[in-house]
């Protein structure tokens, strides 16, 4: 398996612009997680989905952030409008807790976002 | 999410030595405790994990010790090698890990040759 795929790997944008981060989970995984990593706050859970349904979005910092999972093989994290304090590395992870699943989370390589 | 406290922030160990990283948690609902290893520019990768029904788990040179009453767990790296130099994160979750991970702040480990 190719693992969790994220795109783009790097994104540089200007304040006020819309940013869309993309994630393809590992095939067969029924859970998908979005995390953010910064020096100040470390790794934080933003939102997670089970069977394409958002389960907990309490970590989403504010209304400028939104996430969708239209099908089992694709998810997006959108920031509109972006601000410099959104600069971070955003990770997507997937996992499976169904029968025969690995019961753990596999992380993608991340998207490094810089908002100028 | 409840906090997971990790120490030390940084650690220097000589090659062949034992590296020890400690974590403490607050939420008694946590039932899954993984350790992740992260190299610069890469995503975190699962190293080893434990559930609270056991007090110790060993995989190769890596061992997790778990103390449920003290709400503490630690990672021991035996015979530390320069290739182990990385940032290590402890984490905790409920739902067997399915509820999302709460991470410690990380330990930057350097193994000196």
pLDDT per residue as tens digits for the range A8-48 = 999 999 999 999 999 999 999 999 999 999 999 999 999 99
Closest among B90, B93, B104, B21 to A41, alpha carbons compared: B104
Burial of B82 (0-12, 13-18, 19+ CB in 10 A): exposed
With a cut of 70, say whether residue B14 has pLDDT above it: yes
Q: Nearest by CB to A109, which of B1, B42, B96?
A: B42
Instruction: Tell me how far CA of residue B9 lies from CA of A59, A91, B91, in angstroms.
Output: 24, 22, 15
**B31 interfacial to chain A (CB closer than 8 Å):** no
Percent of chain A with pLDDT over 70: 95
Q: What are the beta bridge partners of residue B86? A: B109
Instruction: Tell me how far CA of residue A26 lies from CA of A72, B91, B112, in angstroms.
Output: 9, 21, 36
With a cut of 60, say whether residue A113 has pLDDT above it: yes
Q: Nearest by CB to A107, which of B45, B100, B105?
A: B45
Pairing mode, strands A111-115 and A10-13: parallel
Per-residue model confidence (pLDDT) at position A99: 62
Per-residue model confidence (pLDDT) at position A96: 87
Per-residue model confidence (pLDDT) at position B89: 97
């Amino acid at each position: 398996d190719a693992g969790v795929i994220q795109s783009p790997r790097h994104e540089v944008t200007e304040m006020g612009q819309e940013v869309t981060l993309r994630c393809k989970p590992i095939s067969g995984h029924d859970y998908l997680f979005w995390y953010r990593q910064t020096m100040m706050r470390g790794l934080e859970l933003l939102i997670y989905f089970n069977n394409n349904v958002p389960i907990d979005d309490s970590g989403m910092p504010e209304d400028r952030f939104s996430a969708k999972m239209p099908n089992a093989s694709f998810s997006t994290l959108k920031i509109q409008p972006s601000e410099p304090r959104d600069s971070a590395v955003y990770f997507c992870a997937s996992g499976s807790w169904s029968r025969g699943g690995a019961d753990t989370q596999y992380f993608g390589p991340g998207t490094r976002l810089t908002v100028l | 999410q409840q906090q997971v406290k990790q120490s030390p922030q940084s650690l220097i160990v000589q090659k062949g030595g034992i590296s020890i990283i400690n974590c403490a948690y607050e939420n008694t609902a946590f039932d899954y405790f993984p350790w992740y290893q992260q190299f610069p520019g890469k995503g975190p990768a699962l190293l080893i994990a434990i559930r609270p029904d056991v007090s110790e788990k060993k995989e190769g040179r890596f061992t997790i010790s778990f103390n449920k009453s003290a709400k503490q767990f630690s990672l021991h790296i035996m015979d530390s090698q320069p290739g182990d130099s990385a940032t290590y994160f402890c984490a905790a979750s409920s739902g067997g890990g399915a509820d999302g991970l709460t991470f410690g702040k990380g330990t930057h480990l350097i193994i000196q040759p």
